Structure 1
Amino acid sequence: MYALRRALMCSLCVAGLSAAALGHAAEKVVTFTVDGQKITGTLELPENVQTPPVLLMLHGFTGTRNEWSSPVVKDGLFGRCAKALSKKGVASLRIDFRGSGESDGKFEDMTVDSEVKDALAALDFLSSRRDIDSQRISVVGMSLGGAVATAVAGRTTHSLRSVVLWNPGINLPAAFTSIYGEDVMKTALGSGDQAIAVTMKEGGKTVKLKAAFFKSLYTTVPAAEIENYRGPLLLAVGTKDSIVYPQPTSAEALLRYHTGPHTLWTRPVDHGFDVERSATTVDALVEETTDFVLEHSK
Protein backbone atom coordinates (compact mmCIF):
# COMPACT_ATOMS: atom_id res chain seq x y z
CA MET A 1 0.00 0.00 0.00
CA TYR A 2 2.81 2.42 0.93
CA ALA A 3 4.67 1.69 -2.31
CA LEU A 4 1.52 2.25 -4.38
CA ARG A 5 0.66 5.47 -2.57
CA ARG A 6 4.23 6.68 -2.90
CA ALA A 7 4.33 5.92 -6.63
CA LEU A 8 1.07 7.78 -7.22
CA MET A 9 2.17 10.80 -5.22
CA CYS A 10 5.55 10.91 -6.93
CA SER A 11 3.87 10.81 -10.35
CA LEU A 12 1.56 13.65 -9.43
CA CYS A 13 4.39 15.64 -7.92
CA VAL A 14 6.60 15.31 -10.99
CA ALA A 15 3.71 16.28 -13.23
CA GLY A 16 3.08 19.33 -11.09
CA LEU A 17 6.71 20.39 -11.04
CA SER A 18 6.89 20.85 -14.80
CA ALA A 19 4.96 20.01 -17.90
CA ALA A 20 8.20 20.01 -19.85
CA ALA A 21 10.49 17.02 -20.16
CA LEU A 22 12.81 16.45 -17.22
CA GLY A 23 16.12 14.65 -17.15
CA HIS A 24 18.80 17.33 -17.55
CA ALA A 25 20.45 19.43 -14.89
CA ALA A 26 22.54 22.55 -14.62
CA GLU A 27 25.40 21.92 -12.20
CA LYS A 28 27.27 24.85 -10.71
CA VAL A 29 29.83 25.42 -7.99
CA VAL A 30 28.59 27.82 -5.32
CA THR A 31 30.17 29.32 -2.21
CA PHE A 32 29.06 31.03 0.98
CA THR A 33 30.91 31.95 4.16
CA VAL A 34 30.77 30.91 7.80
CA ASP A 35 32.92 32.80 10.33
CA GLY A 36 34.85 34.34 7.45
CA GLN A 37 35.67 30.97 5.88
CA LYS A 38 34.44 29.85 2.49
CA ILE A 39 32.27 26.78 2.10
CA THR A 40 32.16 25.25 -1.38
CA GLY A 41 29.28 23.22 -2.71
CA THR A 42 27.70 21.89 -5.88
CA LEU A 43 24.21 23.12 -6.66
CA GLU A 44 22.39 20.93 -9.15
CA LEU A 45 19.28 22.48 -10.72
CA PRO A 46 16.92 20.49 -12.96
CA GLU A 47 16.24 22.16 -16.28
CA ASN A 48 12.73 23.24 -17.25
CA VAL A 49 11.63 23.39 -13.61
CA GLN A 50 11.02 26.78 -12.04
CA THR A 51 11.82 27.03 -8.31
CA PRO A 52 12.10 23.28 -7.64
CA PRO A 53 12.25 21.69 -4.19
CA VAL A 54 15.79 21.07 -2.96
CA LEU A 55 17.70 18.49 -0.91
CA LEU A 56 20.71 19.55 1.19
CA MET A 57 23.33 16.78 1.38
CA LEU A 58 25.70 16.42 4.36
CA HIS A 59 28.69 14.11 3.94
CA GLY A 60 30.30 11.85 6.51
CA PHE A 61 33.55 11.86 8.47
CA THR A 62 36.65 12.42 6.25
CA GLY A 63 34.32 12.55 3.23
CA THR A 64 33.69 15.24 0.65
CA ARG A 65 30.58 16.53 -1.05
CA ASN A 66 30.20 13.72 -3.61
CA GLU A 67 30.39 11.21 -0.73
CA TRP A 68 31.78 7.67 -0.91
CA SER A 69 32.86 6.68 -4.41
CA SER A 70 34.20 3.43 -5.85
CA PRO A 71 34.96 1.83 -9.22
CA VAL A 72 31.29 0.80 -9.45
CA VAL A 73 29.86 4.11 -8.17
CA LYS A 74 32.32 6.57 -9.64
CA ASP A 75 30.14 9.63 -9.11
CA GLY A 76 29.85 8.97 -5.36
CA LEU A 77 26.78 8.29 -3.27
CA PHE A 78 25.68 11.93 -3.23
CA GLY A 79 26.72 12.63 -6.81
CA ARG A 80 24.62 9.68 -7.94
CA CYS A 81 21.66 10.74 -5.81
CA ALA A 82 21.84 14.32 -7.13
CA LYS A 83 21.52 13.09 -10.70
CA ALA A 84 18.52 10.92 -9.82
CA LEU A 85 16.87 13.83 -8.08
CA SER A 86 17.37 16.19 -11.00
CA LYS A 87 15.74 13.71 -13.37
CA LYS A 88 12.61 13.95 -11.23
CA GLY A 89 12.65 17.72 -10.91
CA VAL A 90 14.37 18.12 -7.55
CA ALA A 91 17.39 20.36 -6.99
CA SER A 92 20.21 19.50 -4.59
CA LEU A 93 23.09 21.16 -2.81
CA ARG A 94 25.99 19.03 -1.62
CA ILE A 95 28.62 20.86 0.41
CA ASP A 96 32.14 20.31 1.68
CA PHE A 97 32.21 21.00 5.42
CA ARG A 98 34.96 23.38 6.52
CA GLY A 99 38.25 21.52 6.61
CA SER A 100 37.12 19.06 3.94
CA GLY A 101 37.24 19.03 0.15
CA GLU A 102 37.46 22.49 -1.41
CA SER A 103 36.16 24.43 1.57
CA ASP A 104 38.39 26.65 3.73
CA GLY A 105 39.77 25.59 7.06
CA LYS A 106 41.82 22.73 8.45
CA PHE A 107 40.35 19.30 9.11
CA GLU A 108 41.98 19.28 12.55
CA ASP A 109 39.75 22.18 13.61
CA MET A 110 36.53 20.39 12.67
CA THR A 111 34.00 19.42 15.34
CA VAL A 112 30.45 18.11 15.22
CA ASP A 113 29.35 21.59 16.31
CA SER A 114 31.23 23.28 13.46
CA GLU A 115 29.58 20.96 10.95
CA VAL A 116 26.14 21.71 12.40
CA LYS A 117 26.93 25.41 12.04
CA ASP A 118 27.99 24.90 8.41
CA ALA A 119 24.80 22.99 7.62
CA LEU A 120 22.56 25.61 9.24
CA ALA A 121 24.34 28.25 7.18
CA ALA A 122 23.70 26.15 4.06
CA LEU A 123 19.97 26.25 4.84
CA ASP A 124 20.19 30.04 5.14
CA PHE A 125 22.00 30.12 1.79
CA LEU A 126 19.30 28.02 0.10
CA SER A 127 16.53 30.10 1.65
CA SER A 128 18.04 33.26 0.14
CA ARG A 129 18.01 31.95 -3.43
CA ARG A 130 15.28 32.60 -5.98
CA ASP A 131 16.03 29.63 -8.24
CA ILE A 132 14.76 27.06 -5.70
CA ASP A 133 11.66 26.89 -3.53
CA SER A 134 12.77 27.92 -0.04
CA GLN A 135 9.55 26.46 1.39
CA ARG A 136 10.40 22.98 0.12
CA ILE A 137 13.79 22.10 1.60
CA SER A 138 14.79 18.62 2.76
CA VAL A 139 18.03 17.32 4.29
CA VAL A 140 19.97 14.07 3.93
CA GLY A 141 23.00 13.11 6.02
CA MET A 142 25.39 10.17 5.71
CA SER A 143 27.18 8.63 8.71
CA LEU A 144 28.50 11.51 10.86
CA GLY A 145 26.63 13.79 8.47
CA GLY A 146 23.51 11.91 9.55
CA ALA A 147 24.15 12.84 13.17
CA VAL A 148 24.68 16.42 12.03
CA ALA A 149 21.39 16.24 10.13
CA THR A 150 19.51 15.31 13.32
CA ALA A 151 20.87 18.44 15.01
CA VAL A 152 20.05 20.57 11.98
CA ALA A 153 16.50 19.21 11.91
CA GLY A 154 16.03 19.87 15.59
CA ARG A 155 17.55 23.36 15.66
CA THR A 156 16.82 25.09 12.35
CA THR A 157 14.34 27.94 12.15
CA HIS A 158 13.52 26.92 8.58
CA SER A 159 10.65 24.55 7.97
CA LEU A 160 11.94 21.26 6.54
CA ARG A 161 9.76 19.08 4.35
CA SER A 162 11.61 15.87 5.21
CA VAL A 163 14.81 14.44 6.68
CA VAL A 164 16.70 11.38 5.42
CA LEU A 165 19.45 9.62 7.38
CA TRP A 166 21.85 7.14 5.74
CA ASN A 167 23.59 4.92 8.31
CA PRO A 168 23.73 7.88 10.68
CA GLY A 169 25.88 8.09 13.75
CA ILE A 170 23.45 7.33 16.57
CA ASN A 171 25.76 6.81 19.57
CA LEU A 172 28.76 8.88 18.48
CA PRO A 173 31.19 7.96 21.31
CA ALA A 174 30.53 4.26 20.73
CA ALA A 175 30.93 4.59 16.95
CA PHE A 176 34.27 6.40 17.18
CA THR A 177 35.53 4.04 19.85
CA SER A 178 34.87 1.24 17.36
CA ILE A 179 36.86 3.20 14.75
CA TYR A 180 39.86 4.21 16.87
CA GLY A 181 39.80 2.10 20.04
CA GLU A 182 39.53 3.10 23.69
CA ASP A 183 43.21 4.04 24.16
CA VAL A 184 43.15 6.52 21.27
CA MET A 185 39.87 8.02 22.50
CA LYS A 186 41.30 8.58 26.01
CA THR A 187 44.51 10.12 24.64
CA ALA A 188 42.63 12.36 22.20
CA LEU A 189 40.21 13.64 24.84
CA GLY A 190 43.16 14.81 26.92
CA SER A 191 45.22 16.31 24.10
CA GLY A 192 44.03 19.90 24.56
CA ASP A 193 44.46 22.27 21.62
CA GLN A 194 47.26 20.24 20.12
CA ALA A 195 46.32 18.31 16.98
CA ILE A 196 47.29 14.66 17.24
CA ALA A 197 47.42 12.01 14.53
CA VAL A 198 44.83 9.28 14.93
CA THR A 199 44.67 6.16 12.80
CA MET A 200 41.67 3.95 12.18
CA LYS A 201 42.04 0.41 13.42
CA GLU A 202 43.20 -2.27 11.03
CA GLY A 203 45.40 0.10 9.04
CA GLY A 204 42.82 2.68 8.03
CA LYS A 205 43.16 6.37 7.23
CA THR A 206 45.25 8.65 9.47
CA VAL A 207 44.07 12.21 10.18
CA LYS A 208 44.90 14.94 12.69
CA LEU A 209 42.25 16.06 15.17
CA LYS A 210 42.03 18.02 18.41
CA ALA A 211 40.36 17.24 21.71
CA ALA A 212 37.49 19.57 20.79
CA PHE A 213 36.32 17.12 18.15
CA PHE A 214 36.28 14.16 20.50
CA LYS A 215 34.49 16.17 23.19
CA SER A 216 31.83 17.20 20.66
CA LEU A 217 31.01 13.52 20.12
CA TYR A 218 29.65 13.49 23.67
CA THR A 219 27.79 16.80 23.58
CA THR A 220 25.78 16.12 20.41
CA VAL A 221 23.16 13.44 21.08
CA PRO A 222 21.17 12.50 17.94
CA ALA A 223 18.25 11.05 19.92
CA ALA A 224 17.81 14.30 21.83
CA GLU A 225 18.14 16.34 18.62
CA ILE A 226 15.63 14.33 16.57
CA GLU A 227 13.07 14.62 19.36
CA ASN A 228 12.72 18.29 18.38
CA TYR A 229 11.89 17.43 14.76
CA ARG A 230 8.40 16.14 14.09
CA GLY A 231 8.35 16.04 10.30
CA PRO A 232 8.70 13.04 7.96
CA LEU A 233 11.84 10.97 8.53
CA LEU A 234 13.42 8.20 6.43
CA LEU A 235 16.08 6.18 8.27
CA ALA A 236 18.11 3.86 6.01
CA VAL A 237 20.56 1.42 7.60
CA GLY A 238 22.70 -1.56 6.72
CA THR A 239 22.27 -4.49 9.08
CA LYS A 240 25.91 -5.50 8.46
CA ASP A 241 27.25 -2.07 9.47
CA SER A 242 30.30 -2.65 11.68
CA ILE A 243 30.59 1.03 12.72
CA VAL A 244 27.03 1.88 13.76
CA TYR A 245 25.74 -1.30 15.34
CA PRO A 246 23.84 -3.37 16.27
CA GLN A 247 21.35 -2.77 13.48
CA PRO A 248 18.43 -2.44 13.18
CA THR A 249 18.35 -2.20 16.99
CA SER A 250 20.19 1.15 17.07
CA ALA A 251 17.92 2.59 14.40
CA GLU A 252 14.81 1.44 16.23
CA ALA A 253 16.12 3.07 19.40
CA LEU A 254 16.61 6.40 17.60
CA LEU A 255 13.11 6.26 16.15
CA ARG A 256 11.62 6.01 19.64
CA TYR A 257 12.56 9.66 20.09
CA HIS A 258 10.95 10.81 16.84
CA THR A 259 7.27 11.53 17.32
CA GLY A 260 6.51 12.31 13.68
CA PRO A 261 5.91 9.94 10.75
CA HIS A 262 8.91 7.80 9.92
CA THR A 263 10.04 4.91 7.76
CA LEU A 264 12.83 2.44 8.55
CA TRP A 265 14.53 1.00 5.45
CA THR A 266 17.02 -1.83 5.98
CA ARG A 267 19.26 -3.97 3.80
CA PRO A 268 21.92 -6.61 4.68
CA VAL A 269 24.84 -4.34 3.70
CA ASP A 270 27.77 -2.54 5.31
CA HIS A 271 28.26 1.09 6.39
CA GLY A 272 28.72 2.24 2.79
CA PHE A 273 25.69 0.30 1.52
CA ASP A 274 28.14 -2.07 -0.20
CA VAL A 275 29.33 0.75 -2.47
CA GLU A 276 32.74 -0.91 -2.89
CA ARG A 277 31.25 -4.13 -4.25
CA SER A 278 28.07 -3.31 -6.12
CA ALA A 279 25.76 -0.47 -7.13
CA THR A 280 22.64 -2.56 -6.53
CA THR A 281 21.84 -1.44 -2.99
CA VAL A 282 23.11 2.08 -3.66
CA ASP A 283 20.65 2.46 -6.53
CA ALA A 284 17.82 1.07 -4.39
CA LEU A 285 18.74 3.55 -1.64
CA VAL A 286 18.84 6.45 -4.09
CA GLU A 287 15.43 5.48 -5.47
CA GLU A 288 13.93 5.20 -1.98
CA THR A 289 15.39 8.57 -1.00
CA THR A 290 14.28 10.31 -4.18
CA ASP A 291 10.74 8.99 -3.89
CA PHE A 292 10.55 9.96 -0.22
CA VAL A 293 11.73 13.51 -0.87
CA LEU A 294 9.32 13.85 -3.79
CA GLU A 295 6.40 12.57 -1.77
CA HIS A 296 6.93 15.21 0.88
CA SER A 297 7.72 18.07 -1.52
CA LYS A 298 4.22 18.57 -2.88
Structure 2
Amino acid sequence: MTQVTVQRDGLTLVGDYIKPNQETYDLAILFHGFKANRNSPIIKAVSDSLNQAGLATMRFDFDGCGDSDGKFENMTVPGEIADANAIFQFALADHHVKNIYLVGHSQGGVVASMLAGLYPNAELIKKVVLLAPAATLRSDALKGDLQGIPYNPNDIPEAIQIGNFTVGGFYLRTAQILPIYDVAKHYQGPVCLIHGTNDQVVSPNASKKYHEVYKNSILHLVNGADHRFTPPYQKIAVDYTTNFLH
Protein backbone atom coordinates (compact mmCIF):
# COMPACT_ATOMS: atom_id res chain seq x y z
CA MET A 1 0.00 0.00 0.00
CA THR A 2 1.28 3.44 -0.98
CA GLN A 3 0.00 6.67 0.51
CA VAL A 4 -0.63 9.19 -2.25
CA THR A 5 -1.74 12.81 -2.37
CA VAL A 6 -3.70 14.82 -4.91
CA GLN A 7 -4.05 18.60 -5.08
CA ARG A 8 -7.42 20.26 -5.59
CA ASP A 9 -7.74 24.04 -5.45
CA GLY A 10 -5.02 24.38 -2.84
CA LEU A 11 -6.21 21.41 -0.77
CA THR A 12 -4.15 18.26 -0.31
CA LEU A 13 -6.26 15.10 -0.49
CA VAL A 14 -4.76 11.99 1.09
CA GLY A 15 -5.40 8.45 -0.10
CA ASP A 16 -4.17 4.87 -0.16
CA TYR A 17 -3.23 3.22 -3.45
CA ILE A 18 -2.96 -0.57 -3.42
CA LYS A 19 -1.65 -2.20 -6.59
CA PRO A 20 -1.33 -5.85 -7.63
CA ASN A 21 2.09 -7.21 -8.52
CA GLN A 22 1.71 -6.89 -12.28
CA GLU A 23 2.53 -4.41 -14.99
CA THR A 24 -1.01 -3.31 -15.84
CA TYR A 25 -4.26 -3.64 -13.93
CA ASP A 26 -7.81 -2.42 -13.49
CA LEU A 27 -8.38 0.20 -10.81
CA ALA A 28 -11.40 0.88 -8.60
CA ILE A 29 -11.63 4.34 -7.02
CA LEU A 30 -13.63 4.20 -3.77
CA PHE A 31 -15.57 7.16 -2.37
CA HIS A 32 -16.70 7.20 1.27
CA GLY A 33 -19.90 8.64 2.73
CA PHE A 34 -21.01 11.58 4.84
CA LYS A 35 -19.10 11.96 8.14
CA ALA A 36 -16.89 9.02 7.13
CA ASN A 37 -13.37 8.54 5.74
CA ARG A 38 -11.40 6.24 3.49
CA ASN A 39 -11.19 3.57 6.20
CA SER A 40 -14.91 3.24 6.86
CA PRO A 41 -15.77 -0.46 7.26
CA ILE A 42 -17.68 -0.97 4.00
CA ILE A 43 -15.09 0.93 1.93
CA LYS A 44 -12.21 -0.97 3.53
CA ALA A 45 -13.97 -4.32 3.08
CA VAL A 46 -14.68 -3.65 -0.59
CA SER A 47 -11.08 -2.54 -1.11
CA ASP A 48 -9.69 -5.69 0.52
CA SER A 49 -11.94 -7.95 -1.55
CA LEU A 50 -11.07 -6.23 -4.83
CA ASN A 51 -7.36 -6.44 -3.99
CA GLN A 52 -7.71 -10.16 -3.38
CA ALA A 53 -9.40 -10.47 -6.77
CA GLY A 54 -6.39 -8.83 -8.46
CA LEU A 55 -7.70 -5.29 -8.87
CA ALA A 56 -5.95 -2.15 -7.72
CA THR A 57 -7.85 0.18 -5.39
CA MET A 58 -7.51 3.84 -4.57
CA ARG A 59 -9.46 5.28 -1.66
CA PHE A 60 -9.21 8.92 -0.62
CA ASP A 61 -10.47 11.12 2.17
CA PHE A 62 -12.65 13.90 0.81
CA ASP A 63 -11.75 17.46 1.79
CA GLY A 64 -12.48 18.12 5.46
CA CYS A 65 -12.45 14.40 6.23
CA GLY A 66 -9.82 12.03 7.60
CA ASP A 67 -6.28 13.08 6.73
CA SER A 68 -7.17 15.46 3.91
CA ASP A 69 -6.99 19.24 4.13
CA GLY A 70 -9.98 21.44 4.76
CA LYS A 71 -12.70 21.83 7.36
CA PHE A 72 -15.73 19.58 7.46
CA GLU A 73 -18.00 22.60 7.90
CA ASN A 74 -16.88 23.80 4.45
CA MET A 75 -17.64 20.46 2.81
CA THR A 76 -20.30 20.36 0.05
CA VAL A 77 -21.29 17.73 -2.48
CA PRO A 78 -20.09 19.92 -5.40
CA GLY A 79 -16.77 20.23 -3.54
CA GLU A 80 -16.57 16.45 -3.20
CA ILE A 81 -17.30 16.07 -6.92
CA ALA A 82 -14.35 18.38 -7.56
CA ASP A 83 -12.26 16.22 -5.20
CA ALA A 84 -13.39 13.09 -7.04
CA ASN A 85 -12.53 14.58 -10.41
CA ALA A 86 -9.02 15.48 -9.24
CA ILE A 87 -8.56 11.91 -7.99
CA PHE A 88 -9.95 10.55 -11.26
CA GLN A 89 -7.54 12.68 -13.31
CA PHE A 90 -4.68 11.41 -11.14
CA ALA A 91 -5.73 7.83 -11.94
CA LEU A 92 -6.07 8.58 -15.66
CA ALA A 93 -2.46 9.76 -15.74
CA ASP A 94 -1.21 6.39 -14.44
CA HIS A 95 -0.14 4.44 -17.54
CA HIS A 96 -0.31 1.15 -15.60
CA VAL A 97 -4.10 1.44 -15.32
CA LYS A 98 -6.19 -0.31 -17.98
CA ASN A 99 -9.75 0.31 -16.82
CA ILE A 100 -11.15 2.63 -14.15
CA TYR A 101 -14.19 1.79 -12.03
CA LEU A 102 -15.98 3.99 -9.51
CA VAL A 103 -17.43 2.68 -6.24
CA GLY A 104 -19.29 5.00 -3.88
CA HIS A 105 -21.11 4.50 -0.59
CA SER A 106 -23.92 6.81 0.57
CA GLN A 107 -22.97 10.42 -0.27
CA GLY A 108 -19.92 8.98 -2.01
CA GLY A 109 -22.39 7.12 -4.21
CA VAL A 110 -23.99 10.41 -5.23
CA VAL A 111 -20.52 11.78 -6.00
CA ALA A 112 -19.61 8.69 -8.05
CA SER A 113 -22.88 8.82 -9.98
CA MET A 114 -22.54 12.49 -10.85
CA LEU A 115 -18.86 12.23 -11.77
CA ALA A 116 -19.67 9.32 -14.09
CA GLY A 117 -22.49 11.37 -15.59
CA LEU A 118 -19.94 14.01 -16.54
CA TYR A 119 -17.92 11.36 -18.43
CA PRO A 120 -20.88 9.55 -19.99
CA ASN A 121 -19.48 7.41 -22.82
CA ALA A 122 -18.00 4.66 -20.58
CA GLU A 123 -14.65 4.87 -22.35
CA LEU A 124 -12.97 6.56 -19.40
CA ILE A 125 -15.11 5.10 -16.59
CA LYS A 126 -15.90 1.48 -17.42
CA LYS A 127 -18.26 0.54 -14.57
CA VAL A 128 -19.90 2.11 -11.53
CA VAL A 129 -21.06 0.58 -8.24
CA LEU A 130 -23.38 2.56 -5.95
CA LEU A 131 -23.81 1.29 -2.40
CA ALA A 132 -26.85 2.84 -0.69
CA PRO A 133 -26.43 6.05 -2.74
CA ALA A 134 -27.78 8.99 -0.74
CA ALA A 135 -29.70 10.76 -3.48
CA THR A 136 -32.37 11.61 -0.89
CA LEU A 137 -30.01 14.29 0.43
CA ARG A 138 -31.66 16.73 -1.98
CA SER A 139 -35.25 15.97 -0.97
CA ASP A 140 -34.17 15.99 2.69
CA ALA A 141 -32.61 19.44 2.22
CA LEU A 142 -35.76 20.72 0.57
CA LYS A 143 -37.77 19.43 3.55
CA GLY A 144 -35.31 20.79 6.11
CA ASP A 145 -34.11 17.48 7.53
CA LEU A 146 -30.44 16.61 8.08
CA GLN A 147 -30.42 13.01 9.29
CA GLY A 148 -33.23 13.68 11.72
CA ILE A 149 -32.18 17.20 12.70
CA PRO A 150 -34.82 19.72 11.54
CA TYR A 151 -34.20 23.21 10.22
CA ASN A 152 -36.10 25.80 8.21
CA PRO A 153 -35.37 25.03 4.54
CA ASN A 154 -36.50 28.54 3.57
CA ASP A 155 -34.22 30.21 6.11
CA ILE A 156 -31.12 28.04 6.15
CA PRO A 157 -28.93 28.48 9.24
CA GLU A 158 -25.25 29.32 9.05
CA ALA A 159 -24.42 25.87 10.40
CA ILE A 160 -25.99 22.79 12.00
CA GLN A 161 -24.40 20.57 14.60
CA ILE A 162 -24.84 16.85 14.04
CA GLY A 163 -23.02 14.91 16.73
CA ASN A 164 -19.38 16.01 16.67
CA PHE A 165 -19.69 17.42 13.15
CA THR A 166 -20.52 20.96 12.11
CA VAL A 167 -22.33 21.07 8.77
CA GLY A 168 -22.16 24.43 7.02
CA GLY A 169 -25.21 26.19 5.65
CA PHE A 170 -23.69 26.20 2.17
CA TYR A 171 -23.80 22.39 2.18
CA LEU A 172 -27.58 22.61 2.72
CA ARG A 173 -28.04 25.35 0.12
CA THR A 174 -26.21 23.43 -2.59
CA ALA A 175 -27.95 20.17 -1.62
CA GLN A 176 -31.33 21.75 -2.38
CA ILE A 177 -30.45 22.33 -6.04
CA LEU A 178 -28.27 19.32 -6.86
CA PRO A 179 -29.39 17.78 -10.20
CA ILE A 180 -28.42 14.31 -8.99
CA TYR A 181 -30.44 12.06 -11.28
CA ASP A 182 -30.34 14.50 -14.20
CA VAL A 183 -26.55 14.32 -14.28
CA ALA A 184 -26.21 10.65 -13.34
CA LYS A 185 -28.49 9.39 -16.11
CA HIS A 186 -26.07 10.52 -18.81
CA TYR A 187 -23.65 7.73 -17.92
CA GLN A 188 -23.92 4.97 -20.55
CA GLY A 189 -21.84 2.22 -18.91
CA PRO A 190 -22.95 -0.61 -16.62
CA VAL A 191 -24.04 0.29 -13.10
CA CYS A 192 -24.54 -1.99 -10.10
CA LEU A 193 -26.91 -0.67 -7.42
CA ILE A 194 -26.84 -2.25 -3.95
CA HIS A 195 -29.20 -1.13 -1.20
CA GLY A 196 -30.44 -2.54 2.09
CA THR A 197 -34.17 -2.96 2.62
CA ASN A 198 -33.75 -1.86 6.25
CA ASP A 199 -31.82 1.32 5.44
CA GLN A 200 -33.12 3.92 7.90
CA VAL A 201 -30.87 6.71 6.59
CA VAL A 202 -31.48 6.54 2.83
CA SER A 203 -34.65 4.97 1.49
CA PRO A 204 -34.13 2.10 -0.97
CA ASN A 205 -36.33 4.18 -3.27
CA ALA A 206 -33.18 6.19 -4.07
CA SER A 207 -31.59 3.17 -5.73
CA LYS A 208 -34.88 2.24 -7.38
CA LYS A 209 -34.98 5.72 -8.93
CA TYR A 210 -31.40 5.35 -10.17
CA HIS A 211 -32.41 2.00 -11.68
CA GLU A 212 -35.23 3.76 -13.54
CA VAL A 213 -33.07 6.51 -15.03
CA TYR A 214 -30.05 4.37 -15.99
CA LYS A 215 -30.03 2.57 -19.33
CA ASN A 216 -27.73 -0.22 -18.17
CA SER A 217 -28.10 -1.07 -14.48
CA ILE A 218 -28.77 -3.97 -12.14
CA LEU A 219 -30.37 -3.53 -8.73
CA HIS A 220 -29.67 -5.70 -5.69
CA LEU A 221 -31.93 -5.13 -2.71
CA VAL A 222 -30.27 -6.78 0.29
CA ASN A 223 -33.02 -8.03 2.57
CA GLY A 224 -32.59 -6.69 6.12
CA ALA A 225 -29.41 -4.73 5.46
CA ASP A 226 -28.91 -1.32 7.10
CA HIS A 227 -27.30 1.76 5.60
CA ARG A 228 -23.76 0.80 6.57
CA PHE A 229 -24.12 -2.84 5.52
CA THR A 230 -22.99 -3.98 8.93
CA PRO A 231 -22.22 -7.71 9.23
CA PRO A 232 -23.57 -10.13 8.16
CA TYR A 233 -24.76 -7.90 5.31
CA GLN A 234 -21.32 -6.49 4.58
CA LYS A 235 -20.16 -9.68 2.85
CA ILE A 236 -23.23 -9.72 0.62
CA ALA A 237 -22.61 -6.15 -0.57
CA VAL A 238 -18.88 -6.81 -0.97
CA ASP A 239 -19.51 -9.96 -3.00
CA TYR A 240 -21.97 -8.20 -5.31
CA THR A 241 -19.40 -5.45 -5.88
CA THR A 242 -16.48 -7.79 -6.48
CA ASN A 243 -18.39 -10.07 -8.82
CA PHE A 244 -19.57 -7.08 -10.85
CA LEU A 245 -16.10 -5.59 -11.26
CA HIS A 246 -13.97 -8.72 -11.50
TM over 0.5: yes
Structure 2 unmatched ranges of 5 or more: none
Partner of 2:103: 140
Partner of 1:292: 244
Contact 1:178 1:243 in 2 (8 A): no
In the alignment, which of 9, 29, 36 is matched to residue 3 of structure 2? 29
CA distance in 1 between partners of 2:188 and 2:94 (Å)? 25
Contact 2:151 2:157 in 1 (8 A): no
- 2:65 is the alignment partner of 1:94: no
Q: Which secondary structure does the structure 1 equivalent of 2:25 belong to? A: coil
1:152-188 per-residue CA deviation (whole Å, 9 max, x = no partner) reads 011137621100000001221334615143326555x
CA distance in 1 between partners of 2:233 and 2:140 (Å)? 23
The Cα shift of 1:43 comes to 0.4
CA distance in 2 between partners of 1:89 and 1:109 (Å)? 37
- Whichever structure has more strand as a proportion of its residues is 2
Partner of 2:83: 118
Contact 1:171 1:222 in 2 (8 A): no
Partner of 1:156: 119
**Which stretch shifts more, 124-133 or 95-104?**
124-133
Partner of 1:84: 49
Structure 1 unmatched ranges of 5 or more: 1-26, 68-75, 200-204
In the alignment, which of 23, 34, 37 is matched to residue 50 of structure 1? 23
- 2:213 is the alignment partner of 1:257: yes
CA distance in 2 between partners of 1:253 and 1:42 (Å)? 32
CA distance in 1 between partners of 2:140 and 2:197 (Å)? 15
Contact 1:38 1:104 in 2 (8 A): yes
Q: Which secondary structure does the structure 1 equivalent of 2:207 belong to? A: helix
Q: Give the partner amino acid of 1:42.
A: D
Partner of 1:218: 176
The Cα shift of 1:46 comes to 1.4
The Cα shift of 1:223 comes to 1.2
- Which one has the largest radius of gyration? 1
CA distance in 2 between partners of 1:33 and 1:94 (Å)? 15
Q: Give the partner amino acid of 2:207.
A: A
Contact 2:119 2:187 in 1 (8 A): no
Normalised to the residue count of structure 1, the TM-score between the two structures is: 0.76
CA distance in 1 between partners of 2:225 and 2:126 (Å)? 28
- 2:228 is the alignment partner of 1:272: yes
Q: Give the partner amino acid of 2:134.
A: G
Q: Give the partner amino acid of 1:143.
A: S
Q: CA 1:102–1:258 in structure 2 vs 1: closer, same or farther (change >3 Å)?
A: same
Partner of 1:60: 33
- 2:93 is the alignment partner of 1:128: yes
- 2:133 is the alignment partner of 1:183: no
1:43-70 per-residue CA deviation (whole Å, 9 max, x = no partner) reads 01112x2211000101000100012xxx
Q: Which secondary structure does the structure 2 equivalent of 1:256 belong to? A: helix
Q: CA 1:110–1:255 in structure 2 vs 1: closer, same or farther (change >3 Å)?
A: same
Contact 2:14 2:67 in 1 (8 A): yes
Contact 2:110 2:134 in 1 (8 A): yes
Q: Give the partner amino acid of 1:38.
A: T
Q: Which secondary structure does the structure 2 equivalent of 1:85 belong to? A: helix
Q: Percent identity?
A: 27
- 2:133 is the alignment partner of 1:168: yes
